[in-house]
Structure 1
Amino acid sequence: MARGFNKRSKATSSDTSPVDIPPPFTRAPASLAPLLDRLDPAQVHLIHIDRLPPAHKRSIFLIPVTLNALIAALLLWRLSHALPKYLTLLQTLLGYTTALTVDPNTTTRKQQFMILAKRTAMFALDFLLYRFIGPWPLTFFLEQPANPCTWRWNIRFLPEEVIVRVSRHWGVEDLLGGVKKGEESPFFKTRVLTAIEPVFMRKTGYLMMDKNWDLEFEVMQDAHVLLQRGEIKTAEIDKLVLAHLEGAGWVYWRWETDDEVVEGRRKKVVAFKEALTKMGKESLFWRWTEIVEEERDVDGGFTRERQERVVERVKGEFEREGVDFEEVVARVGGLDEVAVKGA
């Protein structure tokens, strides 16, 4: 594990001028400051914990290592064969007689055109090879200040790994600027929400690079250093969307998985029932569930109007029993959508 890192000079959450923060974002807590100092304020970041088994991560990472090693070997082989030929061609261009010199007196026009076509094809193929394929092993093994290999060398394969994705070819201005901001922005719906879909989140972190998101290998290494030092906690940096809003500093949104949403609703329903039971009004809980089911069974679907009707009917039942519905709901920390959708 790397023992230290150079701190980037970037904006932090200390910018606290009054400004409206678009939902679902809120101001990032000060406890995240050590990590926020490492992020690029012009980009949007997704951070989560990869909890897939280390053996699975190792087998996945072995594929790009092998592929890039083979590409690097092929490029070096091609270079060892092409370089002497290019040096000889250079000597020919400088006027020296070499094995590649074409004698117009002993070759036909057709032969000359064939030699020209072959050399042109060789130049073109070598250019395409080193221009578009050559960077793959270079960035994988040698890119600085960090690359996939240094990341794996420093953190190895852990049961819990910090994954930091950074927006690619778009940024904070697209998400928090303009007329539609935050959750109303098309970038929130097409770039952020699609990147945290449950099916996609089943992948290991290294497979999450695509046309919209890249991995911040340097920041991922730094995050593990900060965790070792105790400057940040794993729970604080799991499932975060982070962006820097001018005038407000760093803002964040913590997303929930489907299982977490269901479990959260279940706990609130249990707390709601227990609160009514302690008041001797458990019958109101069952009446609430009956009202929800009645409105759900009506033809036309469980529309917004019917959901509002559920709330009004439930409030009426509570009032007839002398119980303040809003007070009970506040006591259990709010029911949100549970109040109309049921357990």
Structure 2
Amino acid sequence: MSKQPPKKPKQTSFKPAASPIPTPFTAAPPTLEPFLAQLDPSQVYLTHIDRHLPETKKQIFLIPVLLNGTIALLLLYRIYTALPTYWALLQTLLGYHSPATVDTVHTTRNDQLWILAKRTLMFLADFLAFRFVGVWPLTFFLEQPCNPVIWRWKLGGFLADEIVVRVSRNWGARDLMQGVKQGEENAFFKTRILPAIEREVLRTKTGYLMMNQSWDLDFQLMLDAHTLVKQGEVEMRGLEKMVLVFMEGTGWIAWQWESDYDVIEERRKKVVAFKEELTKAGKESLFWKWMDILESERDADGGFTAEAQNRVAERVQDAFAKEGIDFEELTRSVGGLEGLTVNKG
């Protein structure tokens, strides 16, 4: 009986297991570990660098300072003027005679109803003012562990480069990372994250203006991030345009929504469009004048500081005005040139 040849093992094609991390996220870089240790795993975070001019940040921040300061003074004045009234009402409630005691003998029923209505309206107005409006100055000046005033004070004022950390409000990592659709397929990714990172939002708003119904600012985290950068534990560029979220079983994952290549390419396109607009107007020489001014300030001692940026703005606007060109209007037509006046390359 002939021996049967051994059967060949059945060929099996092995496909690499799909990554548990949903697109477009990847594992968070190890260089961010000191910063990630400060985060709440139940939340979603957005980080970027606010490079608006310090003077612009100062002007914008001054508005809530004045607004909340005025509200606080008005509420304190209301407390001062209302205390005698409430004290008299309390005395009456305890059975003592006071100016708030109603003479039921010499007043009519209509008089008594009118007094009751006025006092009820006073109680209601004071409650609404202190319950809803009073929260604004309270959180602005006194919220702990950190608030906008403490943040600015400890930050040292208004910096050229400021780390902004936004944290999800009324939603979180569970909403983004649980279920069949995760990452970019998730509804929260499309309706919460994408609108918050649009270029127009970052271009027109300073960090302080980015609070809304979906995002809050974590002022303590922003201070911690600057501290880590100063200590050399984290690089500031590592926090540029990042989405950070904790995924069960995987850990912290991240998405840098705009790479260095994207930034450089966008700048290149803006420069080309800027030059083309000047060429159409027969003012191509202004383009080279603009470049000369930028380079001269970049090469000056002290680097491209806020003062240097202001000098560039003044020199460029004067040069263009002499040729009858509105520099600000022209830059708006090509999408703005702010990043080009701050970063080399």
TM-score (norm 1): 0.70
Q: Which residue of 1 aligns with 2:112?
A: 112
The residue type paired with residue 215 of structure 2 is W
Alignment partner of 1:136 is 2:140: no
Mapping for residues 1-343 of structure 1, pairs under 5 Å: 20-155=20-155, 156-202=157-203, 203-256=205-258, 260=262, 263=265
Does the CA-based 8 Å contact 1:198-1:258 persist in structure 2?
no
The residue type paired with residue 72 of structure 2 is A
Partner Cα separation in structure 2 for residue 193 and residue 53 of structure 1 = 25
Partner Cα separation in structure 1 for residue 120 and residue 30 of structure 2 = 60
The residue type paired with residue 256 of structure 2 is R
Instruction: Summarize deviations over 1:101-130 as a string: whole Å, max 9, x none.
Output: 101110011111110000000000000000
Offset, 1:260: 2.1
Partner Cα separation in structure 2 for residue 262 and residue 237 of structure 1 = 18
Does the CA-based 8 Å contact 1:198-1:257 persist in structure 2?
no
Structure 2 residue matching 1:113: 3-state secondary structure: helix
C-alpha change, 1:157 and 1:261, in structure 2 (3 Å) is closer
Which ranges in structure 1 are unaligned for 5 or more consecutive residues? 1-17, 268-343
Partner Cα separation in structure 2 for residue 258 and residue 111 of structure 1 = 75
Q: Which residue of 1 aligns with 2:5?
A: none
Structure 2 residue matching 1:199: 3-state secondary structure: helix
Partner Cα separation in structure 2 for residue 218 and residue 229 of structure 1 = 16
Does the CA-based 8 Å contact 1:35-1:223 persist in structure 2?
yes
The residue type paired with residue 213 of structure 1 is W
The residue type paired with residue 238 of structure 2 is E
Partner Cα separation in structure 2 for residue 258 and residue 115 of structure 1 = 69
Structure 1 residue matching 2:120: 3-state secondary structure: helix
Backbone CA RMSD of aligned residues: 2.0
Structure 2 residue matching 1:89: 3-state secondary structure: helix
Partner Cα separation in structure 2 for residue 232 and residue 266 of structure 1 = 29
Instruction: Summarize deviations over 1:139-176 as a string: whole Å, max 9, x none.
Output: 00000000000000011110000000000000001111
Structure 2 residue matching 1:45: 3-state secondary structure: strand
Structure 2 residue matching 1:46: 3-state secondary structure: strand
C-alpha change, 1:125 and 1:257, in structure 2 (3 Å) is farther
Partner Cα separation in structure 1 for residue 248 and residue 38 of structure 2 = 17
Partner Cα separation in structure 2 for residue 189 and residue 258 of structure 1 = 23
The residue type paired with residue 130 of structure 1 is F
The residue type paired with residue 211 of structure 2 is M
Which ranges in structure 2 are unaligned for 5 or more consecutive residues? 1-17, 270-345
Partner Cα separation in structure 2 for residue 171 and residue 29 of structure 1 = 21
The residue type paired with residue 170 of structure 2 is H
Q: Which stretch shows the higher mean deviation, 42-51 or 226-235?
A: 226-235
Instruction: Summarize deviations over 1:249-308 as a string: whole Å, max 9, x none.
Output: 1000001179826718989xxxxxxxxxxxxxxxxxxxxxxxxxxxxxxxxxxxxxxxxx
The residue type paired with residue 247 of structure 1 is G
Does the CA-based 8 Å contact 1:140-1:149 persist in structure 2?
yes
C-alpha change, 1:19 and 1:173, in structure 2 (3 Å) is farther
Question: How many aligned residue pairs are there?
Answer: 250
Percent sequence identity over aligned pairs: 58
Partner Cα separation in structure 1 for residue 108 and residue 266 of structure 2 = 83
